[in-house]
Structure 1
């Protein structure tokens, strides 16, 4: 294979068998995954699952065993020269209270065209109104936006963001989402941890689901949502009898009071209505529900827990 093609197809981030322990407690277990260039990768899991520790290991902020490569180059706690190509916001942004936001950007700007990049970043994140004020007067959302600005300021190839939506109002969330999409289209890769799954669903191409320090699922957003079940929620003239009729007909029902039927995308509604009509049950209302990212992730985590307990 020609060298140029190999470089083009090379993941921007590759993690192989990463392990991390704090004393006797192991918090990362043989974590392996790769991030493709120009993708937004969502990292999701419960609190304490290992998301922040994993991000810190990637950024050389904590020791870990295993292999991490960024843009093809190995990096670790002791050797992380390649991190000049990475921007990051981990936990809370480090801000000097008596410096203005603009002074922070000046302090961290590198390379040529610094002023242009500073001005562009201020405009992209809508910081103009307060960028020249001392940061000690910033709200949580203002500080968060400044932290994101510092992460993207030097046009890094890879941006690692830990809970970037924390403290942002709906308008700021929308602006950040649009900025991430624009930068992704320009070739920037994002690894984003967030508990706001509705926002992540709108921007992520790929997903890493982590549970108790292990990657339990690596997939695309489209594939995960497509694999989730479609549901019909029926209100009838006799819900108790409707449950019996539909269960006998072989439909899988949830435990909800109303007959909620899990069906495949190609399931026909007419046989369901015929079965109920045959028993003189009138259908009063039909609602369609497709599982969202939150539903899908919770289902994965529940399955993982059952596997740990040996129940499946």
Structure 2
């Protein structure tokens, strides 16, 4: 759906983006990850044609430039902080930006989806940070875009609002909407993103699926027993990489050739296994490992 090829960006003589190239598939949620100053927001602004750049950006085979925004007709975005008119209500702001037929119906539906009804008719100068953020997201959704670009959308949201937004994004994805999302809240990105793009100092480091990236991090089995100290000793003697943590025994997955053999070892010593689970890959750990490997 979106193709970025050899994207460069200069601020004066300083180059902040270096030959960035990637593609986004229709109906996917893509997480754009990197440290502060890595170039994430600049990439998003280039896609939206609001900052000059060198290179080629195409949306549905239509070229995007700072002078040609026709390809962006079906794109919604929230970049940095939402710009709101303080003396308009939330509903009035949405109506101002909504276009096409059935504007009022779409505004009402968006207010319902983002749970804005309690303050939709309050002037935005009275909004809290979280209320402003939710309205900014609503503005990105109101015209039912095919591509939604969100820069730090969870900023200022409480846990309940964050969960509701996550569920809405997944539901929209399932209906065919494509997302490019930048967020420092990696645990939330891990829950929604299909694909991941990692940027470091203006350079593309990783362009992969979420599952491919998570495989790069170490996974563990957690086992709780009635005799953790004895179990740790037995496992360590057999070559397992094991530590005794507050939640139980943490055993490196890479040191386990057969989980059945491990369990039999404990059973033979009459050790009762109370709980066992395998951790999934961790996005934060995977990211740190990837960045460390590039230094």
TM-score normalised over the length of structure 2: 0.86
Alignment match, 2:176: 187
Alignment map for 1:1-312 (pairs within 5 Å): 12-232=1-221, 236=229, 245=237, 249=239, 261-264=251-254, 267-269=257-259, 288-305=278-295
Mapped to 2, the partners of 1:101 and 1:299 lie a distance apart of 43
Mapped to 2, the partners of 1:265 and 1:36 lie a distance apart of 37
Gaps of 5+ in 2: none
Task: Summarize the Cα distance change of 1:177–1:275 in structure 2 as closer, same or farther, 3 Å threshold.
Answer: closer
Mapped to 1, the partners of 2:261 and 2:56 lie a distance apart of 55
Checking the alignment, whether the CA contact within 8 Å between 1:197 and 1:293 is kept in structure 2 is: yes
Checking the alignment, whether the CA contact within 8 Å between 2:217 and 2:289 is kept in structure 1 is: no
Render the CA deviation track for 1:202-259: whole Å, top value 9, x for unaligned.
111111111111111111112222343222468535979986x56xx4x6689x9x99
Shift of 1:263: 2.6
- Matched residue SS, 1:142: helix
Checking the alignment, whether the CA contact within 8 Å between 1:237 and 1:283 is kept in structure 2 is: no
Checking the alignment, whether the CA contact within 8 Å between 1:38 and 1:188 is kept in structure 2 is: yes
Alignment match, 1:8: none
Mapped to 1, the partners of 2:219 and 2:272 lie a distance apart of 19
Checking the alignment, whether the CA contact within 8 Å between 2:18 and 2:202 is kept in structure 1 is: yes
Checking the alignment, whether the CA contact within 8 Å between 2:57 and 2:63 is kept in structure 1 is: yes
Mapped to 2, the partners of 1:287 and 1:85 lie a distance apart of 44
Give the length in aligned residue pairs: 287
Mapped to 2, the partners of 1:185 and 1:232 lie a distance apart of 32
Checking the alignment, whether the CA contact within 8 Å between 2:235 and 2:242 is kept in structure 1 is: no
RMSD across aligned C-alpha pairs, in angstroms? Answer: 2.9
Task: Summarize the Cα distance change of 1:229–1:105 in structure 2 as closer, same or farther, 3 Å threshold.
Answer: same
Task: Summarize the Cα distance change of 1:61–1:102 in structure 2 as closer, same or farther, 3 Å threshold.
Answer: same
Worse overlay, 295-304 or 283-292 = 283-292
Mapped to 1, the partners of 2:216 and 2:251 lie a distance apart of 16
Shift of 1:103: 0.9
- Matched residue SS, 2:117: coil
Gaps of 5+ in 1: 1-11, 306-312
Task: Summarize the Cα distance change of 1:33–1:265 in structure 2 as closer, same or farther, 3 Å threshold.
Answer: farther
Shift of 1:198: 1.1
Shift of 1:275: 9.1
Render the CA deviation track for 1:144-179: whole Å, top value 9, x for unaligned.
011001111111111100000100111111111111
Mapped to 2, the partners of 1:203 and 1:124 lie a distance apart of 18
